[in-house]
Amino acid sequence: MSPDVMIQLEGLTIRYGNFHAVNNLDLNLYRGELFGLLGPNGAGKSSTVRVLIGQRKPSSGRAYVAGFDVQRQWSDVKPLFGYVPDRDNHFDEFTGRRNLMLFAGLYNVPEDRVDEVLKQVELSESANVVVRGYSLGMRKKLLLARALLHQPPVLYLDEPTANLDVHSAAIVHRILREHVRMGGTALLTTHNMQEVEAICDRVGILCAGKLVALDTPLALRQRHTERVVDTILAGGERRVFNLDLDSDRAILAENLKLGRVGALHTREFDFHSTFLKLTGTAFE
Ligand SMILES: Nc1ncnc2c1ncn2[C@@H]1O[C@H](COP(=O)(O)OP(=O)(O)OP(=O)(O)O)[C@@H](O)[C@H]1O
């Protein structure tokens, strides 16, 4: 294994009964990489993460973190990651600080680290408020603070910015980018395509348990973008031309030559369109 590989999935297969939720997945994640695992509902993202956090055994195949086998060397793997689940499990009747103190005790982390992570996620002012009074966004940030406590090299995050306002989402993004800038690895699942384009170094798109795309968001967008222009022709007719089709290009050129194009707008295809195209065609 290359020293830069932090997480390695080898032929990972997860079955529920006869149903393949994840089917023979090979994937390497590197140090210093923020990786987005994408896919429609039911694609197998959470099942994959469940193996990595030790909640589920693979039906076949292997998962390694820093060269340690997740099944066979769990005690070496466990301290290497922090996990932000999609649903929180805080002690509601305790303050934010007390919640973190409990975990600091479990991880043998010095108490001043608690105030550091509270500051990092901008929860210092609410540290002494009971969690029952926290908003959904504050709860999520408290989960991230907990995952960061023991400064693990790997972070797994299940939809880390769901329910967060723009400001809080920006805080999470900044923390994740900082984590990978310092050589850490982050694996996040998300349905937010803007987030993917904004912060992910690479993405893998799962569809029905199989990897259908793996690259940088930009490369995927460039490779799969349809070049489409919307026009309004003389007489008010609206027409869409696909520049990847010879026939459409020829008709558009002819209309331009005859001065019949009143307005022309090139569509900006974003990563959202790329995702829909990749996941849609994968079912065909
Ligand atoms: N415990 C389980 N028992 C049976 N089937 C399951 C179980 N957990 C997941 N599945 C099925 O496995 C498939 C993959 O589920 P998984 O939760 O991994 O998908 P996902 O990509 O995380 O979806 P989402 O985006 O909705 O969270 C789905 O069809 C799901 O119904």
Verify that 67 and 159 share a domain, yes or no: yes
204 with 230, same domain: the answer is: no
Say what the pTM is.
0.85
Closest by CA to 195, choosing from 225, 236, 164, is 164
Q: Among 1-15, 198-212, 222-236, where is mean pLDDT lowest?
A: 222-236
- The edge-to-edge listing of strands for the beta sheet with 210-215 is 81-84, 154-158, 185-189, 34-38, 202-207, 210-215
Res 1: pLDDT = 65
| Residue 282 pLDDT grade (very low, low, confident, very high; cuts 50, 70, 90) | very low
Q: Are residues 114 and 174 in the same domain?
A: yes
Question: With a 6 A CB cut-off, is 44 part of the ligand 1 pocket?
Answer: yes
Q: Which atom of ligand 1 is nearest to the CA of 17?
A: 4
Q: What is the mean pLDDT of residues 19-47?
A: 95
Ligand 1 contact, 133 CB (< 6 A): no
What is the pLDDT, as a whole number, of residue 283? 40
Q: Write down the pLDDT at residue 251.
A: 94
> Are residues 193 and 231 both part of a single domain?
no
Q: What is the pLDDT of residue 269?
A: 65
Query: What local confidence, expressed as pLDDT, does residue 97 receive?
Result: 97
Residue with the bigger pLDDT between 32 and 227: it is 32
What is the reported pLDDT for 271?
75
Tokens of 264: 């022309």
In a domain, 278, yes or no: no
- The verdict on 218 and 232 lying in the same domain is no
* 62 and 200 assigned to the same domain: yes
Residue 279 falls within a domain, yes or no?
A: no
Distance 44 CA to ligand 1 centre (A): 6
pLDDT above 90 as % of the chain: 76
Q: How much distance in Å is there from the Cα of 59 to the middle of ligand 1? A: 15
Task: Please check whether residue 98 lies inside any domain of the structure.
Answer: yes
Mark which of 188, 203, 222 sits at the end of a domain.
222
- Residue 24 pLDDT: 96
What tokens does 161 get?
């910015």
208 Cα: distance to centroid of ligand 1 (angstroms) = 10
Question: 177 and 46, same structural domain?
Answer: yes
C-alpha of residue 63 to centroid of ligand 1, in Å: 19
**Helices 112-120 & 96-107, crossing angle to 10 degrees?**
130
Is any ligand 1 atom within 6 A of the Cβ of residue 16?
Answer: yes
Quick one: 60 and 135 in the same domain? yes
> 180 and 230: one domain?
no
- Tell me, what's the pLDDT at 284? 37
Domain residue limits at 204: 5-222
- The total domain count for the chain is 2
Coil, strand or helix at 166? helix
Q: Whose CA is nearest to atom 1 of ligand 1?
A: 16
Domain assignment present for 178: yes
pLDDT number for residue 130: 97
Q: Both 70 and 189 in a single domain?
A: yes
**Best residue for ligand 1 mutational test, from 13, 15, 45 (most atoms within 8 Å of Cβ):** 45
Name the more confident of 186 and 278: 186
**What is the ipTM metric for this complex?**
0.95
Q: How far is the CA of 191 from the centre of ligand 1 (A)?
A: 15
Average pLDDT in the 24-42 region? 96
pLDDT band at 268, cuts 50/70/90?
low
236, part of any domain:
yes
- Residue 47's SS3 state is helix
150 and 258 in one domain?
A: no
56 φ, ψ (degrees, to nearest 5): -145, 145
199-231 as b/e, with b when 16 or more CB fall inside 10 Å?
A: bbbbbbbbbbbbbbbbeebeebbeebbeebbeb
